[in-house]
Structure 1
Amino acid sequence: MIVIVDKKLHEPMYIFLSNLCINGLYGTAGFYPKFLMDLLSTTHVISYAGCLLQAFVMYSFACCELSILAVMAYDRYLAICRPLHYSSVMTKRRLSQLIYLPQSIQNFIAIEFLLIPPVMNPLIYGFKLTKIRTRISAYLRQV
């Protein structure tokens, strides 16, 4: 919301950040309702159409997430004229796929991709940026 409200933040990197947050909301809206319903229910059944819809939402969420991150990385590359060293998270994820792990841990790692980023992205990408942090503190002082 801070990027939309404050016209001084209408720059490419901040617009990418707001798109990342909106995409996170889209992904959680496609995942959490069924996930929470399965946690509270004794039967874990989904219709074929529901399965296709959830798969479409999850794949489009993942594609958009990766595309936004790639565009952000390229934007930073152009801004600072050197390669952006981005991928320690991906390296850990790839390593876990190569090592044999029990099925329950593999399931947790697969779900972690859907649970953690929507919550952490606004914090990691937003509060680290001085302009965002300054604007949030200015708005909180007004309230």
Structure 2
Amino acid sequence: MDNVSIITVFTLSGLSDIANYKVILFVLTLLCYCVIWLVNLTIIVTVILDKSLHDPMYIFLCSLCFNGLYGTAAFYPKFLYDLLSTTHVISYAGCFLQGFVLHSSVAADFSLLALMAYDRYVAICRPLVYHSLMTKQKVCILIFFAWIIAFYLLFMSTITTAVLRLCGSHIPRIYCINWLIANLACSASVAKIVIPAFSYTFCFGNVCFVFWSYVHLIKTCQSSKENMGKFMQTCVPHLFSLTVVVVSLLFDMLYMRFGSKEIPQSVQNFMAMEFLLIPPIMNPLMYGFKLTKIRNRVLNFICGKSSAFRFKS
């Protein structure tokens, strides 16, 4: 009981060895965050403003890009502030809020990718009933439940972690996550084993559903050149996005639980940032380059603005 005290702030130790290159790291991080906003906001605005893109596939893509902005907003502003600060601490409430947003963003990512796989499955394997199954109303309901389920799972995890008695305030990372907070508990708890298991099962179930749908997609596309064209244009970016997310998170989770502490801190920080850097940039870029309608709309907008600027000059 002597070690138990009221925790008001947590110390983030991931930035302890960056004194010599703080400014460079700040500039690079700010640049990456600006790129994330630029590419995701471009897709979101394009889909919202162009009525011809108000189809299920593009609405799901818009939601995926919005989720990328939502998740990174919990990390980059605080990280940029810490890079210029001499003390790297976060408030008790701020730590749990950051963990909740990061975790729920990941869960929503898997939910939205599963919905996108279902949309492609219906469009290619059951084209005759596609418009009756994937109405705008049903799409909105599916997106709503995708977010609600993700929020509920992580809300339960966060609440369960928040009621623990903590015997420490040192988090060996550059941001807060529930698993590391649970590690500070004075005794073993359900929050560290059972609650995360539900989240992992949820994400794993979504991945299994995606692969199941792709088995049927590939079987269907083998017999038709037209379906194979649809598959290559719309499914390849989706499969790439899923692979990037799964590999990034799996690599990070395995390292967090079994990794060696002898790895340089800079390498540890990159591995911790990987799923907050690569998927938010690669997802909109892959879809933007691969989906013809979005690519043409963006290029037409850029060319139109360039022509108008030259005309005024």
Tell me if both proteins adopt one fold, taking TM over 0.5 as the criterion. Answer: yes
Aligned residues: 143
8 Å contact kept, 1:26–1:61: yes
Residue in 1 that maps onto 2:94? 50
| Structure 2 Cα separation of the partners of residues 60 and 142 of structure 1 | 38
TM-aligned CA distance change 1:92 to 1:2, over 3 Å: closer
8 Å contact kept, 1:17–1:126: no
Counterpart residue identity of residue 128, structure 1: K
The answer on 1:28 being equivalent to 2:65 is: no
Deviation, structure 1 residue 140: 2.6
Q: Identify which of 267, 281, 285 aligns with 1:119.
A: 281
Ranked by relative contact order (alpha carbons within 8 Å, sequence separation 6 or more), the top structure is: 1
Deviation, structure 1 residue 18: 0.9
| Structure 1 Cα separation of the partners of residues 299 and 91 of structure 2 | 46
- Identity among equivalent pairs (%): 59
| Structure 2 Cα separation of the partners of residues 40 and 33 of structure 1 | 11
Structure number with bigger Rg: 2
The answer on 1:11 being equivalent to 2:65 is: no
SS in 2 for 1:46: strand
Which stretches in structure 2 are left out of the alignment for 5+ residues? Answer: 1-44, 126-216, 219-234, 306-313
TM-score (norm 1): 0.84
How big is each residue's C-alpha offset from its partner over 1:1-31, in whole Å with a ceiling of 9 and x where there is no partner?
1111110000001011111111111112111
TM-score (norm 2): 0.41
Deviation, structure 1 residue 56: 1.0
Which stretches in structure 1 are left out of the alignment for 5+ residues? Answer: none
Aligned-CA RMSD value? 2.4
Deviation, structure 1 residue 52: 0.8
Residue in 2 that maps onto 1:61? 105
Residues 103-112 or 3-12, more deviating: 103-112
SS in 1 for 2:288: helix
Residue in 1 that maps onto 2:81? 37
How big is each residue's C-alpha offset from its partner over 1:76-103, in whole Å with a ceiling of 9 and x where there is no partner?
2222231568354335764673785526
